[in-house]
């Protein structure tokens, strides 16, 4: 087998794993990403980079809104470095509650434009999730290892990861495995943190009909443009790993999409994914000791938070001073038993 040894190995090729790999590669680190390939929760997503409306939906305070806004502000430079194309068309909220929505967002520091039953958030944009993941993978070239990670073992030099393509020795190990089972061989404290991540199942629909030219959100869901057609979403079922579509939820989401877009949604194909979440809704990002780092559990904001997680993890690897939001993402912030 080929020698796959490297400076840093990332396990997992969702948006967090690939964002971290892209950031480290830009900083001239020797990185490998290990993933068996295929769809994941990041590919079953609308690619929302939406600090305003996500703050609204989560009832965020000013501090959380600032974190999401700062995360979004990292995207233009990250996209330019990584060859990613952003759809900068501002998202809208539509509904009779538009006045309340505009007031709430303004109080959180977001710039909005309100007219009648429509609120436009200038900060809220999107990216084509599947195309972006593919571009990030392609950018890694041979550094992307199509294999399944089976184990991790601490060595005097760092870590040895057992994979179906052979062992990989690295100085640093980054776990970005979503809601997958904990990799055998990780320290008990870290395994406890990973095992405590809550799975959240969700479904999103895709139709070939072009229902909208921008993300449109409102009570009960959203409709968004896609490369070919539109996306309709989405559900969140806490504690579930069920990816099969729920017919009742599908019907409800189609009704919401029709109301928001004013157009019917024919021939909808439904897809499911499972995301991970922590008690405070923020990801686990940063060092956990002994050359081991986490990039996990962004809830529904993986795309929004990708570059911020990448910066926090990369800074931790390089021993740089912690940035302003690193403490909020500290993987050990809850303590090993507090989930």
Asked if the structure places residue 97 within a domain, the reply is no
Q: Kindly report, residue by residue over 115-167, the tens digit of the pLDDT.
A: 999 999 999 999 999 999 999 999 999 999 999 999 999 999 999 999 999 99
Asked if the structure places residue 74 within a domain, the reply is no
User: Of 233, 261, 277, which residue is a domain's last?
Assistant: 277
CATH number at residue 237: 3.30.9.10
Shared domain check, 304 and 256: no
In the chain, the number of structural domains is 2
Report yes or no: 88 and 125 within 8 Å, Cβ to Cβ. yes
Shared domain check, 293 and 230: no
Q: Kindly report, residue by residue over 209-224, the tens digit of the pLDDT.
A: 999 999 999 999 999 9
Shared domain check, 303 and 258: no
Report yes or no: 338 and 280 within 8 Å, Cβ to Cβ. no
**Which structural domain, as residue segments, surrounds residue 261?**
198-277
Residues forming a β-bridge with 239? none
Asked if the structure places residue 113 within a domain, the reply is no
Question: Whole-number mean pLDDT of the chain?
Answer: 95
Shared domain check, 231 and 163: no
Shared domain check, 206 and 175: no
Q: What b/e readout covers 97-126, taking b as 16+ CB neighbours within 10 angstroms?
A: ebeebbebbeebebebebeeebbbbebbbb
CA distance 232 to 234: 7
Q: Which residues contact 32 (CB under 8 A, 6 or more apart)?
A: 4, 6, 8, 9, 10, 143, 144, 145, 168, 170
Q: Give residue 1's pLDDT.
A: 52
Shared domain check, 270 and 221: yes
Q: Across residues 319-324, what is the average pLDDT?
A: 91
Shared domain check, 157 and 269: no
The three-state secondary structure class of 111 is coil
Asked if the structure places residue 59 within a domain, the reply is no
Asked if the structure places residue 63 within a domain, the reply is no
CA distance 55 to 101: 11
CATH number at residue 323: 3.50.50.60
For residue 89, report the phi and psi dihedrals to the nearest 5 degrees. -65, 125
Shared domain check, 249 and 142: no
For residue 126, report the phi and psi dihedrals to the nearest 5 degrees. -155, 170
Shared domain check, 258 and 214: yes
DSSP state, 130? Answer: H
Asked if the structure places residue 245 within a domain, the reply is yes
CA distance 67 to 231: 27
The three-state secondary structure class of 48 is strand
Residue located via tokens 């100085």: 171
Q: Kindly report, residue by residue over 28-85, the tens digit of the pLDDT.
A: 999 999 999 989 999 999 999 999 999 999 999 999 999 999 999 999 999 999 999 9
Q: Across residues 197-214, what is the average pLDDT?
A: 96
Asked if the structure places residue 218 within a domain, the reply is yes
User: Of 277, 299, 321, which residue is a domain's last?
Assistant: 277
User: Of 262, 277, 292, which residue is a domain's last?
Assistant: 277
Tokens matching residue 117: 């039953």
Shared domain check, 179 and 216: no
Asked if the structure places residue 106 within a domain, the reply is no
Shared domain check, 263 and 302: no
């Amino acid at each position: 087998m080929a020698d796959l040894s490297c400076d840093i190995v990332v396990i997992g090729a969702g948006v967090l794993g690939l964002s971290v790999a892209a950031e480290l590669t830009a900083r001239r680190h020797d990185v490998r990403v290990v993933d068996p390939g295929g769809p994941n929760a990041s590919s079953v997503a609308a690619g929302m980079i939406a600090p305003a409306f996500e703050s609204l939906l989560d009832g965020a305070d000013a501090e959380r809104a600032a974190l999401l806004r700062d995360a979004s502000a990292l995207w233009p430079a990250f996209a330019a470095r990584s060859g990613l194309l952003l759809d900068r068309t501002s998202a809208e909220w539509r509904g009779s509650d538009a006045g309340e929505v505009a007031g709430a967002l303004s109080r959180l520091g977001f710039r909005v434009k309100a007219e009648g039953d429509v609120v436009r958030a200038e900060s809220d944009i999107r990216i084509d999730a599947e195309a972006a993941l593919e571009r990030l993978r392609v950018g890694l070239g041979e550094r992307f290892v199509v294999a399944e990670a089976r184990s991790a073992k601490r060595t005097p030099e760092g870590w040895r990861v057992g994979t179906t393509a052979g062992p990989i020795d690295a100085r640093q190990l980054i776990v970005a495995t979503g809601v997958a089972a904990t990799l055998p061989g990780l320290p008990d404290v870290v395994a406890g943190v990973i095992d405590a991540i809550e799975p959240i199942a969700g479904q999103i629909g895709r139709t070939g009909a072009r229902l909208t030219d921008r993300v449109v959100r409102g009570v009960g869901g959203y409709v968004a443009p896609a490369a070919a057609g539109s996306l309709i979403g989405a559900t969140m079922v806490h504690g579930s790993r069920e990816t099969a579509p729920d017919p009742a939820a599908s019907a409800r989401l189609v009704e919401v999409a029709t109301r928001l877009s004013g157009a019917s949604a024919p021939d909808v194909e439904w897809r499911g994914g499972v995301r991970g979440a922590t008690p405070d809704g923020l990801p686990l990002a940063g060092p956990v000791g002994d050359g081991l780092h986490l990039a996990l559990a962004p809830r529904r904001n993986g795309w929004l938070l990708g570059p911020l997680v990448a910066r926090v993890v990369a800074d931790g690897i390089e021993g740089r001073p912690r940035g302003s939001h690193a403490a909020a993402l500290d993987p050990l912030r809850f303590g090993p038993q507090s989930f």
